[in-house]
Chains A and B, each alone.
Chain A
Amino acid sequence: MSAAVGDELKLFVVEAVSAKAMKEWAVFLRDPNPIHLDVAVVKAKGLGERVINQGPANVAYVMNMLLAAFPACRIARMDSRFVDNVYAGERLEAGGTVRAVDGNAVQCEVWLRADGGRPVIAGTATVLVE
């Protein structure tokens, strides 16, 4: 696997964020926060009209993008800044750009964007490629 500074990483697309998956993530995280499960709570808190995806699930999409872009790589580090919420039904795109290459370590700027390109996660990652 070769990578060069400036390479754009292939997008990982989630066509529609699933409210059912949010229920599964509530179990994975052992965190029954109702903003991920009950739209009535989301509305009551003035946070929107649809349930809100768990932040770590959004990180997972970015990790999926990296693992697909660099087959057999290992993620060595990743920093994610949570910029906005993701709502049920939204289409997501995870992507990135190679910013540096040092031996088998590839440093990337990574991101997750929701419907219409709204930033959701901005971050950096280093992957170790074979």
Chain B
Amino acid sequence: MEALPPPPDVAGVSLDGTEIYVITAAENAALCASTGVEAAQDGTAHPVYYYIATQVAMGKTVAGVCETCEFNVEDGPMMGSSGVVFQTPLQVDLPYRVRGEIMGLVRKRSKKLGVMDVLTYRLSLYDAAGAEVLQTENVWVLPRRELA
């Protein structure tokens, strides 16, 4: 079997955000309602904001991350996995910042996709005092049908 060309060397690319992200009480209530539950009354936000806050406030858009990996977002990146470790619960109406980086991009053959790049990136969310609130690691699958 022919060797695959190497993927772009993207490990270490910064995803530090410049934007402050605030989970508003109103949006939290709307998100909770959209998933079939009521918002908590104690000021905590829905924990799925671990994903939303880090994605929205990281230093690149989804399309930008794909572009860094020389992948067109229109070709359909797929979520492979997502993990999170919370230090403290997320709160509404507090400012958060994101820091993170791309951990790696691995090219593989796939029975289903032909060839795919597996992108791993890690993001941390920090509160206004600089304390880490959570760390998340996401894996995306980038189909490379043109290499199959």
Interface of B is mostly: mixed
Are A60 and B81 closer than 8 Å at their CB atoms? no
Are B79 and A82 closer than 8 Å at their CB atoms? yes
| Total CB contacts across the A-B interface at under 8 A | 81
- Residues of chain A lying within 8 A (CB to CB) of residue B27: 28
Q: Which of A29, A33, A55 contacts B56 (CB 8 A)?
A: A29
Are A55 and B79 closer than 8 Å at their CB atoms? yes
* Contact residues, B1-58 vs A (CB, 8 A): 27, 30-31, 34-37, 46-48, 51-52, 55-56
Please tell me if A79 contacts chain B, counting CB pairs below 8 Å: yes
Chain A interface size range: 20 to 34
- Residues of chain B lying within 8 A (CB to CB) of residue A60: 31, 35, 46, 48
**Smallest Cβ distance from B66 to chain A, in angstroms?**
11
Interface of A is mostly: mixed
Q: In the bound complex, how far is the Cα of B139 from the Cα of A82, in angstroms?
A: 10
* Contact residues, B42-78 vs A (CB, 8 A): 46-48, 51-52, 55-56, 62, 73, 76, 78
Residue ranges of B at the interface with A (Cβ–Cβ < 8 Å): 27, 30-31, 34-37, 46-48, 51-52, 55-56, 62, 73, 76, 78-86, 89
